[in-house]
Amino acid sequence: MRVKKTHTYIGLLFSGLALFSSPLLADTPLNDELTQTMKLEPNLDNGKKIFKQCLVCHQTNGWGVEDGTFPQIAGQHRSVIIKQVTDIRAGNRDSPIMYPIVKESVLGGPQAISDVAAYIESLPMTPTPGLGEGGDDARAEKLFYRKCAECHGADGSGDKKRFYPRIQGQHYEYLLRQVKRIKEGKRRNANPQMVKRIAKMKEKDLKLLVDYISRIKPPKDKLAEPDWKNPDFK
Ligand code: HEC
Ligand code: HEC
């Protein structure tokens, strides 16, 4: 697969604007707990302990499940994990499943979030995500570069400084569920620029696009061997 490293002018413009508005380089609103948590020094050992509360659903590897019921979180940027967890806590992203697990009385305060996020980021990613049916690869690639790459990166690695998620190698069905929610305006913490673009796209193209994204291989240093098992939870 060809990976282009170029960024578009629009991407540069965004980063320029973001530089003025926030030291954390975000172009989406940051909730208070997120800003607070980003400043903390994470403790990986404690993160490992807290991760026990996540593995029923996200699995011991953090790979989630291939049918997309539970997303892969392994290898995600720490900043993105913290944003999603604190957004769910603050009521900025609806997840009736996650909310009771990550609310403060159960998970703990910002330090707990900082620790578990760092642990999850350190886990290697699945080499076998759930995939779609495949299709017109050239068209999918073009759509991705035109509509998504300036924020999520040419290879879907995202951008930790701007809280743009790593989306490469994520399960197809989970990606599809999220882009549908984004299209319908139901993922309330989504970047408005992205919502505008996805709202204009046909369902057929969205399927093609997320199938392509699920097939992008994460970089070697983020990818697990096929039979890898998290040694912390054997
Ligand atoms: C009971 C099942 C369950 C448990 C336990 C659980 N999660 Fe989740 N998690 C989900 C589901 C389902 C989603 C997808 C969001 C949705 O569809 O509502 C999710 C989404 C996430 C996301 C966002 C992923 C993304 O790509 O945006 C993060 C981060 C996350 N979980 C972290 C955690 C952490 C950390 C723990 C442990 C403290 C945890 N989860 C425990 C079910 C669970
Ligand atoms: C202007 C920047 C921008 C563009 C362009 C953009 N995104 Fe996003 N995307 C984001 C941000 C920021 C988030 C995280 C939002 C949040 O904090 O919940 C996100 C989240 C997502 C998610 C959810 C990831 C997860 O783990 O739950 C998916 C899927 C996604 N984007 C797909 C796409 C696709 C497909 C395109 C192209 C059609 C695209 N995005 C274009 C900024 C962008």
CATH of the domain at 218: 1.10.760.10
Q: Identify whether 80 is part of a domain.
A: yes
- How far apart CA 80 and CA 86 sit, in angstroms, is 10
**Residue 36 maps to a domain:** yes
15 and 162 in contact (C-beta within 8 Å)?
A: yes
In a domain, 16, yes or no: no
Residue identified by tokens 């030291």 is: 23
Task: Indicate the residue type of 145.
Answer: Y
Q: Do 36 and 84 belong to one domain?
A: yes
Residue 132 placed within a domain: no
Give the residue, by CA position, lying nearest to ligand 1 atom 6. 54
* Spatial contact of 54 and 233, defined as CB atoms under 8 Å apart: no
Which residue, chain included where needed, has tokens 């603050």? Answer: 90
What tens digit of pLDDT does each residue of 210-221 get? 999 999 999 999
| 161, 25 contact by CB (below 8 A) | yes
Residue 3 domain flag? no
* Domain co-membership, 69 together with 143: no
What Rg, from alpha-carbon coordinates, does the chain have?
Answer: 17
Same-domain check for residues 153 and 118: no
**148 and 120 in a common domain:** no
> In 3D, which of 169, 223, 181 has the Cα closest to residue 206?
181
Average pLDDT over residues 32-61: 97
* Spatial separation of the C-alpha atoms in residues 93 and 187, rounded to whole Å: 6
Number of separate domains in the chain: 2
- In this prediction, residue 145 carries a pLDDT of 97
Same domain? For 110 and 152 the reply is no
- Give, using CA atoms, the residue closest to atom 21 of ligand 2: 165
15 inside domain: no
CA proximity to 156, closest of 76, 59, 61, 71: 76
Are 178 and 114 within one domain?
Answer: no
| Distance (Å, whole) CA 87 – CA 52 | 21
Question: Rounded to the nearest whole angstrom, what is the distance from the C-alpha of residue 156 to the centroid of ligand 2?
Answer: 10
Q: For ligand 1, atom 37, name the residue with the nearest CA.
A: 54
pLDDT digits (tens, 9 = 90+) for 112-171: 999 999 999 999 999 999 999 999 999 999 999 999 999 999 999 999 999 999 999 999
**58 CB within 6 A, ligand 1:** yes
Question: What are the pocket residues of ligand 2 if the criterion is a CB atom closer than 6 Å to any ligand atom?
Answer: 28, 83, 147-148, 150-152, 163-165, 167, 175, 178-179, 189-191, 193-194, 197-198, 209
Domain boundary among 98, 127, 156: 127
Q: Is residue 86 a contact partner of residue 37, using CB atoms and an 8 Å limit?
A: yes
Q: How much distance in Å is there from the Cα of 220 to the middle of ligand 2?
A: 23
Boundary of a domain, candidates 109, 127, 145: 127
Query: Are residue 122 and residue 144 in the same domain, yes or no?
Result: no
Output the six-digit token pair for 48: 């490992």
CB 83 within 8 A of CB 161: no
For residue 107, what are the domain limits? 26-127
The span from the CA of 148 to the CA of 209, in Å, is 10
Has this prediction a pTM greater than 0.85? yes
Last residue of a domain, one of 127, 156, 181: 127
* Domain identity same for 32 and 106: yes
pLDDT for the residue 22: 44
